[in-house]
Amino acid sequence: MVSMMIKIIVSVHDDMSESGGTTVRVRRVVRILSTKYEVMVINCSGGNQEKLRDMDDATIITVSGIGQRLLWTKSPLIKALSVTLWNLRLLFTLLRTRPAIVYCANDWFGFPGVYLASRILKCKIIYEAQSIYFEESKELGHSGIGLRLRQALESFLIRHSHHIIALSQNTYEFYSAYNHNIDLIPVFVDDEIFKKRISKPAIGDTKLVGLIGPFDSAFNEYFLDYVDNNIERFDRRIRFLAIGRCGRMVRSDRIAYTGYLNSVADYIGHLSCLDAVLIPSRVATSGPLNKIIETMSCSLPVFTTPKGIVGLYSIEPGRDILVFDEKDLVERVNELIFDDRFMADIGRNAREAIERYYSKSVNENKLMGILESVSNREEQILK
């Protein structure tokens, strides 16, 4: 049996007080690990610490002013300074706390500091790969020396992690060619929380379609732009609800906004009012996967593009989810959303697929098994 006192530090180069693709995953992982290990989370938080109350079983270490937003600037100097400061703070924290395991939650930029600490402390590194970093960078239009540096960093972290957890099948297949200590644990959802929704009362022939944010990132902001650019092509009986923080609102009487939501309960409440969710992804990224599986867990049909389902496995288009080329999305939404029986079938199949492959109950044992295996390796080295 693994000792309760084994210390794990989770490194995440994001603000844990906000909800995003990376932080939602980290919260779920930390809640599972905290049942058996001493867990500390180091993150770039600059927000309200009250929002971290659901992580009371873990120690939260916050680093202000060194977050992802600095990497969005156009200044290479500011970006380099941000990455350097983050690595120095990671190295200092790891040397001070001396963990047995460092769990890098998709933390590309902090890996050099973590690796240096592991060489000094002889601790193990588990790297959680949410996507193929190099391929995602190409999708975003990066090129030249910047792209080559990203490729070199990804190659380095693949080869020097003691164990890798891949969140998608394509990432697993790519990383497994370079590191055989790898397992697939997909983006998963607590299907006891994201339960089948209460039937929405019919309001005439109107249908309400959800767009899921937050909309202050380029990935999600495009969802609003897509609807705005095609609003006159959508059937007049279709209205839209943008769920999440939004800095730039599209002015239309057919689009409503929830603003930032303070709780998962509020989020699920808004999902319960929808007839479907639209995720018109133009770029393949790990981000939409949380949106998709949470929506599917609530028995809601999802309309998306082939880019939107990159990384999902065991999900059958046309049966569990509705996948069409971006140019055909509007026409297919108009055609299918008013077929109540068909949409109900898609929603039911979606929920069943999540229960089989993407539920917390299915994946938490895999996660704990990996940690126990790595912990046992660490104990044997110490002996």
**CA-closest candidate to residue 61, choices 88, 42, 34:** 42
Structural domain for 53, as ranges: 7-188+360-382
Residue 2 lies in a domain: no
Pairing type for strands 255-257 and 276-279 reads unpaired
My answer on whether 245 and 231 are in the same domain is yes
Residues 164, 15 share a domain = yes
- Band of pLDDT at residue 383, cut at 50, 70 and 90: very low
Query: Phi/psi at 182 (nearest 5 deg)?
Result: -145, 145
Nearest to 25 by CA among 5, 41, 7: 41
- Report the range of poorest mean pLDDT among 139-143, 198-202, 276-280, 322-326: 198-202
169 and 222 share a domain?
Answer: no
Task: For residue 131, give every residue at least 6 positions away whose Cβ sits within 8 Å of its Cβ, in sequence order, or none.
Answer: 106, 167, 168, 171, 284, 285, 286, 311
Give the tens place of pLDDT for each residue, 217-270: 767 888 999 999 999 999 999 999 999 888 778 788 899 999 888 888 899 999
Let me know if residue 334 belongs to a domain. Answer: yes
Give the 3-state secondary structure of residue 215: coil
- Mean pLDDT, the chain, rounded, equals 85
Do 174 and 135 belong together in one domain?
yes
Residue 199 lies in a domain: no
Query: Is 89 part of any domain?
Result: yes
Q: Are 216 and 184 members of one domain?
A: no
End-to-end CA distance of the chain: 16
Least confident window among 53-57, 66-70, 331-335: 66-70
What Rg value do the Cα atoms of the chain yield, rounded? 21
Domain assignment present for residue 330? The answer is: yes
Read off φ and ψ for residue 238, nearest 5 degrees: -100, 130
The kind and range of the H/E element at 96 are helix 76-97
* Contact of 283 with 291, CB cutoff 8 Å: no
What's the length of the chain?
Answer: 383
| Domain membership flag for residue 194 | no
Q: How far apart are CA 298 and CA 189, in angstroms?
A: 11
pLDDT of residue 49: 58
- Does 147 lie in the same domain as 276? no
Residue 19 has pLDDT above 80, yes or no: no
Residues 354 and 364 reside in one and the same domain: no
Domain count, the chain: 2
Name which of 20-24, 326-330, 372-376 the model is least confident about. Answer: 20-24
- For residue 147, give the 3-state DSSP assignment: helix
Residues 218 and 353 in one domain: yes
CATH code of the domain covering residue 92: 3.40.50.2000
| The predicted structure's pLDDT at residue 1 | 39
Q: Are residues 212 and 181 in the same domain?
A: no
Q: Is the pLDDT of residue 211 over 70?
A: yes
Is residue 2's pLDDT more than 50? no
Q: Are residues 298 and 321 in the same domain?
A: yes
Q: In this structure, are 352 and 373 located in the same domain?
A: no
Helix (H, G, I), strand (E, B) or coil at 231: coil
Lowest mean pLDDT among 54-58, 71-75, 362-366: 71-75
From 83, 107, 95, select the one nearest 161 (Cα to Cα).
Answer: 107
- Judge contact between 39 and 73, C-beta under 8 A: no
